[in-house]
């Protein structure tokens, strides 16, 4: 059985770009050592340049999810920024999140030694909320009420009538929506509390919220 104690050895890279750009991101990432990835679609709600997460104005976006060991991920996200210039407005955003392991592909191998990552000094976190379809806008409004500038909404879809995806043991079917919100760490608690209260998340079946630290990011504006 795989051990999951080396939580710093693997990274997930999220890249959110304009519709149609996802394949170019995958091609560039492959050139620099990431064997493959997944593209899914979303729409945005940001209407303010401050923390212009995803540079979205209710437009269609592609979200590219890549997995790699830490060294490769650090190199790839830097190269992607050089190529796609995320520092420029409306060019997208890229960030990394630590994960324990990547299973299911021989392309991802565990290292034979632990790497010293040091203290994570990132100022940002990502808040992911999964709710019933039609409730995503309420999540956005609850977040905005306490300082959030917006986020992106992803419609979660199953692959068949009798099939569904599970996330933290919660069914993600076509009637579900996932909301991704980027937050400064000092605002995260307020945003989560507001969403939790307004959407009554504590009631069974109303949704789920989880928060992850962001390690490295490009394309965030203040």
Among 39-48, 59-68, 103-112, 204-213, whose mean pLDDT is lowest? 103-112
Q: What is the mean pLDDT of the chain?
A: 78
pLDDT digits (tens, 9 = 90+) for 95-112: 999 876 655 544 455 444
Q: Identify the domain containing residue 170 by its residue range.
A: 124-213
181 falls within a domain: yes
pLDDT tens column, 132-188: 889 999 999 999 999 998 888 888 643 334 445 555 566 555 578 899 998 999 999
For residue 19, the number of C-alpha atoms closer than 13 Å in the C-beta half-sphere is 10
Total number of domains in the chain:
1
Does residue 37 form part of some domain?
A: no
Q: Which two tokens stand for residue 56?
A: 């979205």
Full-model pTM: 0.71
pLDDT interval class at 205 (50, 70, 90): confident
Helix ranges (H only) for 22-135 are 22-31, 70-84
CATH of the domain at 171: 3.30.70.120
In a domain, 199, yes or no: yes
pLDDT score at 51? 39
Question: Per the domain annotation, does 160 fall within a domain?
Answer: yes
Whether 110 contacts 101, CB under 8 Å: yes
């Amino acid at each position: 059985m795989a051990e999951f104690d080396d939580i710093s050895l693997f990274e997930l890279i999220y890249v959110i770009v304009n519709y149609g750009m996802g394949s170019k991101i995958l091609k560039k990432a492959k050139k620099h050592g990431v064997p493959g990835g997944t593209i899914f679609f979303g729409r945005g709600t940001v209407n303010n340049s401050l923390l212009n997460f995803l540079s979205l104005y209710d437009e269609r976006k592609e979200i590219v999810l890549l997995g790699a060991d830490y060294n490769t991920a650090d190199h790839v996200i830097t190269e992607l920024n050089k190529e796609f210039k995320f520092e420029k407005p409306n060019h997208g955003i890229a960030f990394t999140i630590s994960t324990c392991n990547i299973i299911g592909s021989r392309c991802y191998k565990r290292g034979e030694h632990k790497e010293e990552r040091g203290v994570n000094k990132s100022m940002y976190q990502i808040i992911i909320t999964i709710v019933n379809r039609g409730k995503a806008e309420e999540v956005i409004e609850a977040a905005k009420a306490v300082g959030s500038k917006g986020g992106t909404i992803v419609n979660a879809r199953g692959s068949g009538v009798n099939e569904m995806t599970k996330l933290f043991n919660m069914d993600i079917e076509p009637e579900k929506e996932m909301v991704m919100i980027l937050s400064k760490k000092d605002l995260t608690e307020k945003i989560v509390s507001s969403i939790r209260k307004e959407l009554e998340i504590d009631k069974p079946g109303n949704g789920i919220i989880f928060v992850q630290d962001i390690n490295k990011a490009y394309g965030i504006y203040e």
